[in-house]
Chain A
Amino acid sequence: MSATFTKAMARNVFYGGTVFSILLFLALTFHTNWKIPQRTPTETPSLEVARGKLLWETRNCIGCHTLLGEGAYFAPELGNVYQRRGPEFIKIWIKAQPTKVPGRRQMPQFHFTEQQLDDLVAFLKWTSEINTENWPPNIQG
């Protein structure tokens, strides 16, 4: 870099560029958060959905599965599992774990009550109705 471009100039460009980027990002964030209620099924999820989300979190589902493409890549995408499998299959599947098929990837048994299974399904249904710009590309996730 030439001697006419000094360290002080570089520093000022840094502060200016960073502050500008932060402000632009905050403006976009503000607009996005204003829009999110229109892009999710309900702005504030029902108690049932909120309980389901807590179950999702405290069983660390994200440690194997993806949800809207985020998480671990060890087990199927669950953002659209409600459409792919339907509520009854989801509940039966969770209750049947682990499959204990030798050599197959195993999911733990969580001993959920019927109420908890319904909460979890409600959360997955709510999630499946988020406007994701048509992602994933097909039902397989």
Chain B
Amino acid sequence: MQLQYKSQAVAKPYFIAAIALFAGQILFGLILGLQYVIGDFLFPAIPFNVARMVHTNLLIVWLLFGFMGAAYYLVPEETETELHSPLLAHVLFWVFLIAGVLTVAGYLAVPYATLAELTGNELLETMGREFLEQPLPTKLGIVVVALAFLYNIGMTLLKGRKTAITLILLMGLIGLAVLFLFAFYNPSNLVKDKYFWWWVVHLWVEGVWELILGAILGFVLLKITGVDREVIEKWLYVIITLTLVTGIIGTGHHYYWIGPPGYWQWWGSVFSALEPIPFFALTIFCFNMVNRRRRQHPNKAATLWALGTGVMAFLGAGVWGFLHTLAPVNYYTHGTQITAAHGHMAFYGAYVMVVLTMISYAMPILRGREVNPERSQVLEMWSFWLMTVSMVFITLFLTAAGILQVWLQRIIPNPQPFMAVQDQLAMFYWMRWLAGVVFFAGLAVYLYSFFAKDKPEAIEAGEAHPSVT
């Protein structure tokens, strides 16, 4: 099978880089999980904070690679025209990859304070805030790559067909780029710093990224189900309306205890309590579209990932978010392992899975076939279950640890100190780590599935192949 537009091919390196960085992210996750129970593991070579920066920054970077790859793949097909500049897309790929790798190497090679000195943090002090740890040159690089990427996508859109899917994708990508600019605002008043820090972090993951998610999922569902575009795009509008109407004011659930006025406890509780609704709509949407499918798409793995995204995004972002979003509950759970539990399943269920959905659908076509061989698909589906089930267990163990932590440290009459409580959570941390090992095994199966071929007898049993001359 051939690509409909040859410029779609630029998506391939983006997907490969995304998967490679994903593997790195999980490796550092395993280091972190072990440091939770063996405190001095790899110290001082890789202190916890360094491993954590690598873990979270790799996640962000590989998801961005995934989003960009998805955009390069779906925009030509949706707009029915070649990409404005495939060359620019190739150049940006290398710029972004080199910037990402150098940044991670910097984290690992020198102490963070030295990195700050070397990279001119004193010119504009933006480093050292959670998830926005990147040195100034990296942050500027992200802006340049984002702008050039938007230019490329925007120009393609201008000359081609304008569908709701591409429009929603573009709005999400523009929002992503614009909101990132708040990473450069770091006032010395900590409350203002934190207030606008959330404009990047929350308005990304509970705002504009969901537009990107919706567009990607809508595209894949359109392709694999053959359901009428009008129906899919109408659903998409409803979902993203619910997302932004609940999610924007829902930012307030981060403003309860960091200095802003108390009224945010009301705004945040009411609106973020509604945040599961768009995710539930997403679940219904996925199942509804697959049930109404007009064709039996041979890529069973991609269908599984799409349905999985619908379910796991709802569980991780919706249910586990709701669990601790109401102010009276959050008063006790804020900043505990409950947050970590939610963060893991929400990121996996929504963003990791949607990128893997897209890769699952597009990668076979990028490699010149409609779908992967049967055995490869079976392995990929095994990896789906291994990773997804182990992530459910990671979340459950962290939730158990979190409940116990809240109880011992914040509720009982004689609350215990942080480290005394941590010691008592060790069993849950060990179980979380074991679940992490299973996740890593699932990832290994996933990686292997790309190289798996059908066994010779299976090929013989299938259609006849022309012999090699």
Residues of A within 8 A of B (CB): 1, 5-7, 10-11, 13-14, 17-18, 20-22, 24-25, 28-29, 31-33, 35-36, 39-40, 43-45, 49-50, 53-54, 56-64, 66-77, 98, 100-106, 108, 110, 126-127, 130-133, 135-141
Whether a CB of chain A sits under 8 angstroms from the CB of B287 is no
Q: Are the CB atoms of A74 and B35 closer together than 8 Å?
A: yes
Identify which of residues 195-229 in chain B touch chain A, using a CB-to-CB cut-off of 8 Å.
195
Which 5 interchain pairs have the tightest Cβ spacing? A63-B49, A57-B128, A69-B335, A105-B39, A135-B257
**Docked pose: A67 CA to B416 CA in angstroms:** 19
Instruction: Kindly supply a per-residue 1/0 record for chain B positions 401-427, scoring 1 wherever the CB is within 8 Å of any chain A CB and 0 otherwise.
Output: 000000001110001111100100000
Q: Which of A36, A70, A77 contacts B189 (CB 8 A)?
A: A36
**Docked pose: A107 CA to B349 CA in angstroms:** 33
Q: Are the CB atoms of B249 and A62 closer together than 8 Å?
A: no
17 CB < 8 A contacts A-B:
A1-B231, A7-B234, A10-B238, A13-B237, A40-B190, A40-B259, A57-B125, A58-B127, A64-B48, A69-B334, A70-B130, A98-B44, A103-B39, A106-B40, A132-B258, A136-B335, A137-B411
Q: Which of B50, B241, B262, B267 contacts A133 (CB 8 A)?
A: B262
- List B contacts of A68 (CB < 8 A): 194, 257-259, 335
Q: Are the CB atoms of A141 and B418 closer together than 8 Å?
A: yes
- List A contacts of B190 (CB < 8 A): 40, 45, 53, 67, 126-127, 130
Whether a CB of chain A sits under 8 angstroms from the CB of B164 is yes
Whether a CB of chain A sits under 8 angstroms from the CB of B430 is no
**Docked pose: A33 CA to B129 CA in angstroms:** 20
Q: Are the CB atoms of A133 and B49 closer together than 8 Å?
A: no
Write the chain B residue with the least CB distance to A107: B47
**Docked pose: A28 CA to B191 CA in angstroms:** 15
Q: Are the CB atoms of B337 and A105 closer together than 8 Å?
A: no
Q: Are the CB atoms of B52 and A72 closer together than 8 Å?
A: yes
**Docked pose: A49 CA to B194 CA in angstroms:** 16
Q: Given contacts A18-B241, A28-B267, A36-B191, is CB(A62)–CB(B128) below 8 Å?
A: yes
Smallest beta-carbon distance B333→chain A, Å? 9
Smallest beta-carbon distance B340→chain A, Å? 6
Whether a CB of chain A sits under 8 angstroms from the CB of B103 is no
Q: Are the CB atoms of B50 and A14 closer together than 8 Å?
A: no
**Docked pose: A21 CA to B203 CA in angstroms:** 12
Interface size class of B (residues with CB under 8 A): 35 or more
Smallest beta-carbon distance B138→chain A, Å? 15
Which of B128, B189, B249, B415 is most buried by chain A, counting CB atoms within 10 A of its CB?
A: B189
Identify which of residues 218-270 in chain B touch chain A, using a CB-to-CB cut-off of 8 Å.
230-231, 233-235, 237-238, 240-241, 244-245, 248-249, 251-252, 254-262, 264-265, 267
**Docked pose: A89 CA to B393 CA in angstroms:** 39
Q: Are the CB atoms of A60 and B53 closer together than 8 Å?
A: yes
Write the chain B residue with the least CB distance to A109: B44
Whether a CB of chain A sits under 8 angstroms from the CB of B181 is no
- List B contacts of A40 (CB < 8 A): 189-191, 259
- List A contacts of B331 (CB < 8 A): 135, 137
**Docked pose: A7 CA to B228 CA in angstroms:** 12
Smallest beta-carbon distance B130→chain A, Å? 5
Whether a CB of chain A sits under 8 angstroms from the CB of B116 is yes
Identify which of residues 318-352 in chain B touch chain A, using a CB-to-CB cut-off of 8 Å.
331-332, 334-337, 339-340
Q: Which of A18, A54, A101, A136 contacts B410 (CB 8 A)?
A: A136
Q: Which of A39, A45, A60, A105 contacts B188 (CB 8 A)?
A: A45
- List B contacts of A98 (CB < 8 A): 43-44
**Docked pose: A69 CA to B113 CA in angstroms:** 23
**Docked pose: A139 CA to B264 CA in angstroms:** 24
Q: Given contacts A13-B241, A72-B130, is CB(A106)–CB(B260) below 8 Å?
A: no
**Docked pose: A68 CA to B330 CA in angstroms:** 13
**Docked pose: A139 CA to B416 CA in angstroms:** 10
Q: Are the CB atoms of B125 and A59 closer together than 8 Å?
A: no
A11-B164, A39-B261 given; name 8 further pairs at CB < 8 Å.
A1-B231, A1-B234, A25-B248, A60-B128, A63-B48, A63-B130, A68-B257, A137-B410
**Docked pose: A131 CA to B53 CA in angstroms:** 29
Smallest beta-carbon distance A7→chain B, Å? 4
Q: Are the CB atoms of A53 and B188 closer together than 8 Å?
A: yes
- List B contacts of A126 (CB < 8 A): 190
